[in-house]
Structure formats: structure tokens, C-alpha cells
Amino acid sequence: MKSGYEAVIGLEVHAQLKTESKAFCSCPTVYGAQPNVNVCPICLGHPGTLPVLNENLVAFAVRMGLATNCSIREHSTFSRKNYFYPDLPKGYQISQYSDPICYNGWVEIETDAGEKNIGITRIHMEEDAGKSIHDLDIDTLVDLNRSGIPLIEIVSEPDIRTAHEAYQYLLGIRQTLVFLGICDGNLEEGSLRCDANVSVRKKGDTHLNTKSEVKNLNSFRNVEKAIGYEIDRQIALMEDGNEVQHQTMMWDAGSGKTKVMRSKEEAHDYRYFAEPDLLGVTVDSVMIEKQTGLIPELGLQKKRRFMLEYGLPAYDAAILTDDVQLALYYEEACQALSERSEEACKMVSNWILTELMREMSEKKVNIRETGIGAAQLASLVDVVANGSISHKVAKEILPDMFGSDVTAQQIIKERGLEQVSDESTIKELVAQVLLVNAESVEKLKQGKTNLFGFLVGQALKASGGSANPSVVCSIMKEALEMEVGE
């Protein structure tokens, strides 16, 4: 961002909830069904049909509100948001307007400058519209399976100042939704959608300038890129003496630019009025107590605990706690270690972040579907930590553990792979290597210290890879010191 300016950014996040049925009817919410099969007269907007509120829509909204430090409104109502679009058969969307169920909350994000709280203006309940399909070589098609899917909209305060802060905030919102078990957080399937309101002002100014709304943000990185581009676009307009127009912009990932979609709508354009077919929603202390009890340890809390309890660096802890299943798997593996030390816990992290995550990526599976249990991984770390086998041998036997219940100890015993650490045996081995490589020993005495690694390698080779490398190094060093002394 050009110096002298600052951005003012607010995000609107729509999260599809993991309910079995739609917001106001009993139609299923399964993703990927044939077009227009998960529909009924209610979600198709047939005259005379009446909506019935899904209780889990309310419960999940309250749970998200509590997790984001919101106040919960005891009594809230639904409204009709009126607009015409082919995938909105009723001609209106049931939403909340003047009295959202959750309000005045905040979430904490981590920035380069430290922790920062981003305010939550409101979280309200609503139903989704259908889907218009434009990218086929025929006329636009409409799929109404998504019509009536339960959503919550999470609206932030304009507290975000950079594109990267917006990225961090969206990651935090997604992580919270997934940890709560109320949304799968899948941007590709549309389970999570984000619109960004962006304006720019001179540093030191307190007023809000005209904003634009950026849509079509279908990945976390696109959110960051689109906001960054829009900030630069608005600054360029201001520098040239032009005014920023109140418009809805579309992010074109192919060109890396935002493009004008239409003039921005105002609230009055939607002609909100109270939904006459639904009673208001009352949230009592019993529901709040129940939903509070269902809130687990959330991502940022878990990350900090992993750093404190297991001695992990921030990088490792952040990746492990980004995925709730990965975090649970890691902790199970650490609990299964025969001796739980910071070094062993870091080794568990290393194996997950390298070998297991590569397996996850190649097979497109989650950590539980890789074929190796947390206790099995712990057994592998145990034998490396206690010196039974080297890390090299451990990598060789890991593939044989996938899809089986065998432990590393069982494989080592069956194949006779246990590492030799007996000092007398290794001393004989080292002596033989020094004798065979007398010329290299003489050169080492003359100052060619890089030959030490060569001699250690020869000893390990002579042992068939079974000798403990650290013991070999120690004994080799002692033997060479004696040679030099003579």
C-alpha cells in the first residue's frame, strides 16, 4: 500500500451450516446431488406453503455467537429480503435485518505487529438462494438444490487494515466454524463464501470514504489478492483526483483484477419487512448453557497450548491446529509416546508435517485415512528416540506400516533391524575401518578434517547400516584422537 494511505476493510462471511435438513423445510442438504432433486414446494416457493424453522439453525448460530464473544439477543425476528433473480423462486430471501440473533462480538487474530481484535457487528440467520450455472455452452441453467440451505452471515466491523489481516481473519473464522462442528469450511463447494467491503483514506483521517464491495472470492489467497488490488485501484483513483464509486466489484482471478458488476445496492432496495409466516426466535438460558458446553478448545487456544505444553515452534503449532483432525491426531500420538519429551513431541510433528501430510496430499485423504494410526506413529518415534533404529531406517519401514496395525517394534524384531549400540562391537568395527583406510587417516592427521565424515560413513557401511551413528561418531573421534596423540 502506498505510504500516506490506509485501508478500511470489513468482511461479510456466509457459512453453510451442517444441518441434515434445510432452514425451513425437511429437504436434505447433501452436496453433489443431481440438480433439482433436493427440493419441495416450500423451498420452491409454491403459493400457500409455510416455512417451519429448523431448530439446529438457531442452535448453531448461538454456538458461533458465543465462540466469537457476541451478545445473544433473547428475542429476534425474521424479515423478507426482496429481490428478483432466477435462482430465487420465492422472489425474496428469509433473513434477519434489524435484530440479528448475535451482535457486538470480536475475534482475535495474530498479525506481524502482534495480537489484534477484530469486531463482529452481527451474526444473523438466513436461507441460501439457488445456483445459476452460466459456464456451459448453452443457456443459463438453474439448480435449486441449494435454495433454502441454512446459513449464518458473519459481519465484521471495519477494523481490518490490510489484505493480510483480512486473510488472517477469514482463516480464523473458518477455523472456528470447523472446530465448532457447524460448517465444513469448504470454499470450493461454496460452504464458505466471503464478500469484502473496501475503502481507502489518508492516514490520520477518521471518516469513512466511499466503499466498494468485492465478490467472487473463492479462496483464501484470492481474498488477499483481490483486497490488495482493490486498495491499489482506489488509491490510484484518489491520486488522479477521481472519486471512488459505490459499486459491487467482481474479482477476476485470471486477470488478477477487480471488475465492475453493478451499482451497489442499499438496504432500502431490498424492501425489508417482517416475515409474516414465522414467529420470532426466543433464546433462553437453557439453550445458551447447552451451547456453551458444546464449545471445544478453539484453534488459537490450542495453538498456544501446543507451543507451551509440547514445546512446538509457532510454525508447527499453526499448521497442526489449522485442521481439527490433524490437531487431535497429533495430541493422540504424543500421549502414546513411551517417554514424552519436547524432543519426541517435535519428532512427532516433523513426521506429520513431512511424511504424513505428503501422503494426505498425494491420496487426497485426511489424516485418519492415511492408514497409520496415532499410536503406530508414536511407536516409530519411540524407536528412533531411543536409538533402536536410525531415522533413515525409520523412513524405510514407514511405508510398511500404512494400512496395517503393526508397530515399529514388531517390524524391527521381525527383520532384525535393531540398531547396534554396543560400544565394544563398534570399537572393533572402527578399528578395522581405520586399518583399511590408513591413507585417509594420515591425510586427516595432516589437516583434511572433512575425511572424518568419510571414515564414519565407511564404518556405518561396514555395519550394514545397523550401527548407531551417534555412537560410531563418538568412538571414531576417540580413536582418531589417540592416533593423532601417537
Higher pLDDT, 225 or 266: 225
Choice among 113-117, 244-248, 313-317, 430-434 with the minimum mean pLDDT: 430-434
Query: Looking up cell 459505490, which residue turns up?
Result: 246
Residue 374 confidence (pLDDT) above 90: yes
Rounded mean pLDDT of 197-219? 90
Q: What residue has cell string 484453534? A: 299
User: Beta strand pairing status for 75-76 and 79-82?
Assistant: unpaired
Distance CA(429)–CA(431), nearest Å, equals 6
Q: Give the model's pLDDT for residue 38.
A: 96
C-alpha cell at 6: 490506509
- Cα–Cα distance for residue pair 23/148, rounded to 1 Å: 6
Q: Does pLDDT of 323 surpass 60?
A: yes
Contact 140, 86 (CB under 8 A): yes
Reported as a pLDDT band with limits 50, 70 and 90, residue 484 is low
Q: What is the pLDDT of residue 350?
A: 97
Query: pLDDT value at position 471?
Result: 78
Judge whether residue 446 has pLDDT over 80: no
Band (pLDDT 50/70/90 cuts) for residue 91 is very high
Give the pairing of strands 192-202 and 5-16: antiparallel
What structural domains and CATH numbers belong to the chain?
5-291 (no CATH), 299-415 (no CATH), 423-485 (1.10.10.410)
**For residues 143 and 79, what is the distance between their CA atoms, to the nearest angstrom?**
24
Between the ranges 93-102, 188-197, 460-469, where is the mean pLDDT highest? 93-102
Q: What percent of the chain has pLDDT over 70?
A: 95
Task: Please tell me the least confidently modeled range out of 46-60, 83-97, 286-300.
Answer: 83-97
Decide if 192 contacts 183 (C-beta within 8 A): yes
Cβ atoms of 451 and 427 closer than 8 Å: no
Query: Is residue 486 scored above 60 in pLDDT?
Result: no
Q: What is the pLDDT of residue 458?
A: 81
Average pLDDT over residues 316-344: 95
Q: Phi first, then psi: give them for residue 94, nearest 5 degrees.
A: -80, 120
> Starting from the edge strand earliest in sequence, which strands make up the sheet with 102-111, in order?
71-72, 102-111, 114-127, 150-156, 5-16, 192-202, 212-217, 247-252, 257-263
CA distance 73 to 103: 8
pLDDT beyond 70 at 464: no
- Mean of pLDDT values over 114-133: 95
Q: Which residues pair with 75 in a beta bridge?
A: 282
For the segment 426-443, the average pLDDT, to the nearest whole number, is 77
State mean pLDDT over 409-425. Answer: 75
Phi, psi of 121 (to 5 degrees): -70, -50
pTM of the shown model: 0.85
**352 has pLDDT over 90:** yes
44 pLDDT above the threshold of 80: yes
Instruction: List the single range of 75-89, 248-262, 383-397, 451-465 with lowest mean pLDDT.
Output: 451-465
Which pLDDT band, with edges at 50, 70 and 90, does 420 fall under?
low
pLDDT for 441? 73
Pairing mode of beta strands 114-127, 5-16: unpaired
Q: What is the pLDDT of residue 485?
A: 57
Q: pLDDT confidence of 264, banded at 50, 70, 90? A: low
* pLDDT at position 388: 79
Contact 96, 81 (CB under 8 A): no
Specify the pLDDT at position 429: 76
pLDDT at residue 1 in the model = 62
Query: Cell for 357?
Result: 501430510
Instruction: Write the CB contacts of 362 (distance below 8 Å, at least 6 apart in sequence).
Output: none
d(CA 428, CA 300): 54
What mean pLDDT, rounded, does the chain reach? 90
Q: What is the 3-state secondary structure (H, E, C) of the chain?
A: CCCCEEEEEEEEEEEECCCCECCCCCCECCCCCCCCCCCCCCCCCCCCCCCCCCHHHHHHHHHHHHHCCCEECCEECCEEEECCCCCCCCCEEEECCCCCCEEEEEEEEEECCEEEEEEEEEEEEEECCCEEECCCCCCCEEECCCCCCEEEEEEECCCECCHHHHHHHHHHHHHHHHHHCCCCCCCCCCCEEEEEEEEEEECCCCCCCCCEEEEEECCHHHHHHHHHHHHHHHHHHHHCCCCCCCEEEEEECCCCEEEEEEECCCHHHHCCEECCCCCCEECCHHHHHHHHHCCCCCHHHHHHHHHHHHCCCHHHHHHHCCCHHHHHHHHHHHHHCCCCCHHHHHHHHHHHHHHHHHHHHHHCCCHHHCCCCHHHHHHHHHHHHCCCCCHHHHHHHHHHHCCCCCCHHHHHHHHCCCCECCHHHHHHHHHHHHHHCHHHHHHHHCCCCCHHHHHHHHHHHHCCCCECHHHHHHHHHHHHHHHHHC
Q: What is the pLDDT of residue 179?
A: 96
Which pLDDT band holds residue 391 (cuts at 50, 70, 90)? confident
Q: How far apart are CA 361 and CA 370, in angstroms?
A: 10
Q: How confident is residue 422, by pLDDT bands cut at 50, 70 and 90?
A: low
The predicted-structure confidence for 470-479, as pLDDT tens digits, reads as follows 777 888 787 7
